[in-house]
Structures are given as structure tokens and as C-alpha cells.
Amino acid sequence: MATHLLLTYDFPPIGGGIARWMAELAKRYPAGSLVVSTGQHGEASEVDAGFPNRIDRLAIPSRRLRTIHGILLWSRRVAVLARSIDVEFIWCGNIKPAAYPAKWTMERTGTPFGILLHGGDLLILQHQVHQSTVKRKTAAALLGSAAVLVANSDWTRDCCLTLLSELDLDAPPDLVRVVPLGADPERFRPGLDTRDVRARYDLGAGRWLLTVARLTRHKGIDTALRALSGLLPRHPDLRYAVVGAGEEQHALKAEAQALGVTDRVRFLADVPDRDLPALYNVAEIYLGVSRVMEQRVEGFGISLAEASACGVPIIAGRSGGIPAAVRDGETGLLVDADRMDAVVEAIERLLADAALRARLGAAGRLAVERHYNWDRVTADLVRIGRELGTAARQVSG
């Protein structure tokens, strides 16, 4: 069986949605058919042993893969791997830095590569190419060399096509393809026992709202806090759990204090992945009220798929790629995340209607079982890699 390479800066034990996606590929690609190339991070050896595919780590920390020296070392290593194990296709977990060693290797071995796009990376790159001629040329060289660009939603695809046009790059019909993301329906499922996580994280009685996200401003947690404050007079048993860490953590805690809701909110940082399924099961409603801010956007929203897998109804922002993850009126409610009154109205509607909550949650669970799951995502990427790898070999042969 031909081998594929996955070049990724984000990989466990690093946390976050991109690292989750990369780990699921390493887990679900046919055993022995994928090699993951990444950097060192913490107790990596224990993590790596749990995958059926090889994890090849450079002798430098992951954070140094973004440096010129790190990219050079990475490029040399990837070229060696491509030659020694007869790699058919290379996947890049992001544009930068992973596309640099992929392009280097393609130029030396002829191995084609594809880039996985996330949404925010395109907004950042679009801003950069407008500010710098050098970055414009670099972006054109990296994107123009790829055999395929894989977007996680229609919104991300459209953003990519706009950027390609601005870079004066031709985009054949099959260059940019959409592969929506998903969740693991075996791990994330309804009906889990929540007693341990309730005790561990002090989640007592009441009706819980939940957000699982990196604490950045565009995630809309500030809007959710204001909504909670407005709802408490009518719903004194309402609570809000925020799972994640980030640069806005202190500001959000201060905001909760200023709103007088500190005793109703739990900020839960450093939550291990093993606790997430049960934490989703604590929630009556999942809040994902992200909005587009500067160069930040939700390209899809893996946590939205995880909440759906657990049968939790969702209220989410109608922005970026979120409509790919949440079907309005079917698996959740989409709102204008910049309007706190719209968020309040949606929460009120779900709190008052148990039948609607059950219907949305059940439909979300079914959508994950049928389509929004990692088995389907991996199968799509394996198929695309095989298709383009085979085509490249036929041309070179």
C-alpha cells in the first residue's frame, strides 16, 4: 500500500482543534499507510505509542518548526522520508509552516502535496499579501504549487478562491475541494455518566450552558456572559461552563465579575480530552456564538460537531463556516452573534421547549453518525491523496 506523509505543526500532546484533526487522521488512516512528521512536545513518546501509524518527530521542539532553521531541518527530513519510504502524497496540516517543506520535497522528488485549510489562516494570509510584496510572492508560490487545497467548509472554499484570484493564480474546478470535519460518535455520545466531572469541576445543580473553545475574543464568550446576565432574573438556576484557555481568560473573568455572574460561571482550563464527552453531557444547550473579528473566524467548529454527537442542541453564530456544522432549525439555531438580544432570545426559546431541544439534539447526533465524523473525513482525504498521487506517477512514468 502506498504511503502518505502528514506534515503538521499541531499534534498531540498539543491541544486544540487542528491537533485533534491531525490526530484523528493518524488514528484512522489504514495502519502503516501514513507517516506523521512533526516536532517534539512534552511527553510525546507516550502519545505516539497509541497510534497505528508512525509518528516521526524531529529533534527540535514543535515551536521551532516556524523558524527559518526549523523549516530547513524539516524540509531535509521530509525529503529523506519521501525517498526512503516511497511516499505517494504529502498532506500539509496548514499553509505555514508545513507547506514549505512540502514544496521543497516536491521540487526534489516530484511528490505532490495538498494543503488543509482552516479559515482563519486564509484571513491572516489575505491581510499579509496586501501588506507585503514578499509575502504575496511567498503565498503565491506555496498555494500555486499545491496539487489540491482542501477547505473545511463552503465558506473556507470561497475565501480560498478569493485569495487565489487576488494572487492571480488559476484555480481549476477541482483544485479547491470541500471536506467538512466531524467528531467521533463512539467517544462523544449521549447518556454518559456525568457524576465524576460534576464533582471534579464543581458543576452543581442547575441548567448548564456550555462552550468549549480557546479563549479568544472572536469566540463570542463575552456575548454569552452578557446573555447569561440578562437571563438570570427569569432563570435563576441557569449556569455557564467555559472549557478552554487563552489570552482572553483574565479579561473574560473580569467581565463575568463586572456583570455579577461570577458565581454562575465556571472557567475550566487545562481540561484533559478524556473529560470532554462527559462535560458535553452536562450541558442543556451548547453555545458557539463566534463571529468574524479581524483575521479570526470559525472555519467549521469541531466542538459544534462534538456537541451534536452528544445529542446537545446548539446555538451558534451565523458566520464563517459555522453553517456547515450547524443546520439552522435542524441541529441547532443560528443567530447574529453580534446581537446579544438574538442570543438571549434563542436561549429562552430552547429553555422553554424540551421537545425542540430533544429534536435538535437527536438530529445533530444522526448527522454525525451519517456524515460529520472522522471516518468519513479520513476516507475523503485518503481517496483524494490516492487519486492525485496516482495521477502524478502516471505523468512522471
340 and 226, same domain (yes or no): yes
Give the dihedral sign, CA 216/222/224/225: positive
85, pLDDT greater than 90: yes
229 and 261 part of one domain:
yes
Do 46 and 158 share a domain, yes or no? yes
Computed over every residue of the chain, the mean pLDDT equals 94
Q: What is the pTM of this model?
A: 0.93
Confidence at residue 397, expressed as pLDDT on a 0 to 100 scale: 61
Contacts of 27 (CB under 8 A, 6+ apart): 51, 52, 53, 374
Assigned C-alpha cell, 28 = 484512522
- pLDDT confidence of 139, banded at 50, 70, 90? very high
Same domain, 78 and 110: yes
238 within some domain: yes
Within a domain: 189: no
Kindly state whether residues 135 and 221 are assigned to the same domain: no
Q: Does the structure show a pLDDT above 80 at 54? A: yes
Same domain, 81 and 41: yes
Q: Is residue 81 part of a domain?
A: yes
- Is residue 223 within 8 Å of 289, Cβ to Cβ? yes
Residue range(s) defining the domain that contains residue 341: 195-370
Percentage of residues in the chain having pLDDT higher than 70: 99
What CATH number did the domain enclosing 85 receive?
3.40.50.2000
246 plus 233 within the same structural domain: yes
Mean pLDDT across the stretch 355-361? Answer: 98
Judgement on whether residues 271 and 174 belong to the same structural domain of the protein:
no
Same domain, 279 and 388: no
Same domain membership, residue 104 and residue 34: yes
pLDDT in tens, 313-327: 999 999 999 999 999
**23, part of any domain:** yes
Average pLDDT (150-179) is 94
Residue 50 lies in a domain: yes
Q: Are residues 138 and 101 in the same domain?
A: yes
